Chains A and B, each alone.
Chain A
Amino acid sequence: MHELSITEHLLEDCIKSAREKNASKIRVIHLCIGQLRGIIPDCIQIYLDMLSEGTIAEGARIEAEYLPVKVLCRDCKKEGEISPGHLACPHCKSLKLKLLSGKEFYIKSMEVDIDGNQSTASDNGLE
């Protein structure tokens, strides 16, 4: 349920980014979530449906992409991807691993409607 306050701020960020692009409607919000995070996209969607009423994000869909947990094995020195529930090297089964990634959580992009003759997003280079 920590997704509620996260979604409040997510919505603010999305509306701000969309306005900067003169967007009139947010259709889809693409999120990237590392598998080590305890963030549930369905919860974000439910809260977003509630919170976005009457805003340009009303009806927007959350599309989440899970990013893998990547590790470096300190025994066999190989890199690999693991599931967070099973912390062992996929090559040699060693438990001595170094975590490389899996804690990401960011808005990647949005699909929006833009009124008038606005230039495209890539021209603006919004970061």
Chain B
Amino acid sequence: MEIKVLHQIMDWNEDVGDEVKKLLASHHICMVNVMGSPGSGKTSMITALINALKGNWRIGVIEGDIAGQVDAERIASLGIPAVQLNTDGACHIEAMSIQHILPELPLDELDLIFVENIGNLVCPAEFYIGEALRITLLSIPEGDDKVEKYPLMFTDTDCLALNKYDMMPYFEFEEERVLANYQTVNPGAPLFRISSRTGDGIQALADFISEKAGKVRS
């Protein structure tokens, strides 16, 4: 016989995500989930943002990676508390992993935590981790068809950063196409044109994050 269930499958993750969000709120911490492809420049962008934000905010970083310590070491060299979250092959970070690793950061001494998610445009989008802000990163060399191919990643984000924007002259990247698609799946969400290498546009994105962090703090 058939029985009705009507059960939202992702509730298990979302419930833990809400617990994480509550814990962070009690410490007045704004957590930022940074997502994008491998090589889109997540670590470089986080580094550039740390330099733009560290005068005003106390920052920590959770470096998600399938394996290794390289990115966490790169961040720690800036004098920022950083922990490495190795997923042992898994393609995304779940709320539970964040809940487990948060106590390793000095939460009473932080205002802002960047989580560098696993480099992947598919899986991380499915998992809320308790973040206050999502940044999706798309770099110019990846191509202008990514919003159509991976819509969820661009739907469930608070802003889109077009990274390596200084490479625009060298690629046939139709920005209008990305913009139109992005406005379809995520109307009204802001877009930032940045280059972590030259520093262009980083301040505008940093200001956007500051505004959100200010709201979480108050």
Interface residues of A (CB under 8 A from B): 1-2, 4-6, 9-10, 12-14, 17-18, 21, 23, 31, 36-39, 71, 84-87, 95-99, 103, 105-114, 120-122, 126-127
Give the Cβ gap from A99 to chain B, nearest Cβ, in Å. Answer: 6
- Can you report 18 residue pairs joining A to B where beta carbons are below 8 Å apart? A2-B123, A5-B94, A12-B12, A13-B5, A13-B7, A21-B3, A99-B184, A105-B8, A107-B6, A107-B9, A108-B4, A108-B5, A109-B4, A111-B3, A112-B1, A121-B1, A121-B4, A126-B3
Residues of A within 8 A of B180 (CB): 87, 95-96
| Separation of A6 and B13 alpha carbons in the complex (Å) | 9
Q: Which residues of B contact A (CB under 8 A)?
A: 1-10, 12-13, 90-92, 94, 122-123, 125-127, 147-152, 155-156, 180-181, 183-185, 187
Instruction: Judge whether A127 and B3 touch: CB under 8 Å.
Output: no
Given contacts A85-B148, A103-B152, A127-B6, contact A120 B123 (CB under 8 A): no
Do A6 and B181 form a contact, CB below 8 Å, given A1-B123, A17-B3, A126-B4? no
Cα A71 to Cα B90 with chains together (Å)? 33
CA distance A39 to B5 in the complex (A): 19
- Cα distance A97–B186 in the bound complex, in angstroms: 9
Interface residues of B: mostly helix, strand, loop or mixed?
Answer: mixed
**B127–A2 CB distance below 8 A:** yes
Q: Determine the chain B residues whose CB is within 8 A of the CB of A38 once the complex forms.
A: 122-123, 125-126, 150, 152
Tell me, in angstroms, the Cα distance from A86 to B148 when the chains sit together: 6
**Residues on the A chain within 8 Å of B4, using CB:** 108-109, 121-122, 126-127
A2-B90, A39-B126, A103-B155 known; A109 vs B184 contact (CB < 8 Å): no
**Which residues from B are CB-within-8-Å of A14?**
5
Per a CB cutoff under 8 Å, which of A87, A98, A113, A127 touches B181? Answer: A87
Complex contacts, B1 vs chain A, CB 8 Å? 111-114, 120-121
Cβ of B125 and Cβ of A107 under 8 Å apart? no
- CB-based nearest A residue for B186: A99
Are B181 and A95 in contact (CB-based, < 8 A)? yes
Q: Which residues of A contact B2 (CB under 8 A)?
A: 109-112, 121
Closest 3 CB pairs of A and B: A121-B3, A95-B180, A2-B123
- Write out the residue numbers on chain B whose beta carbons fall within 8 Å of the beta carbon of A108: 4-6
Contact of A10 among B9, B90, B127, B156 (CB under 8 A): B9
Q: A112 CA to B7 CA in the complex, in Å?
A: 16
**Complex: how many Å from CA A58 to CA B104?**
40
CB distance from A17 to the nearest CB of B (A): 5
Contact among A37, A71, A111, A122 with B126 in the assembled complex (CB-CB below 8 Å): A37
Q: Which residue of A lies closest to B122 (CB)?
A: A38
Closest to A85 in B: B148
A36 to B4, CA, bound (A): 24
User: Nearest-CB distance from A48 to chain B (Å)?
Assistant: 13
Contact A106 B8 (CB under 8 A): yes
Given A2-B127, A21-B3, A37-B126, is A105 in contact with B9 using a C-beta cutoff of 8 Å?
Answer: yes
Q: How far is A122 from B3 in the complex, measured between Cα atoms in Å? A: 7
Q: Name, among B10, B127, B156, B184, the residue most crowded by chain A CB atoms within 10 Å (CB to CB).
A: B184
Interface centre among B92, B122, B127 (most CB of A within 10 A): B122
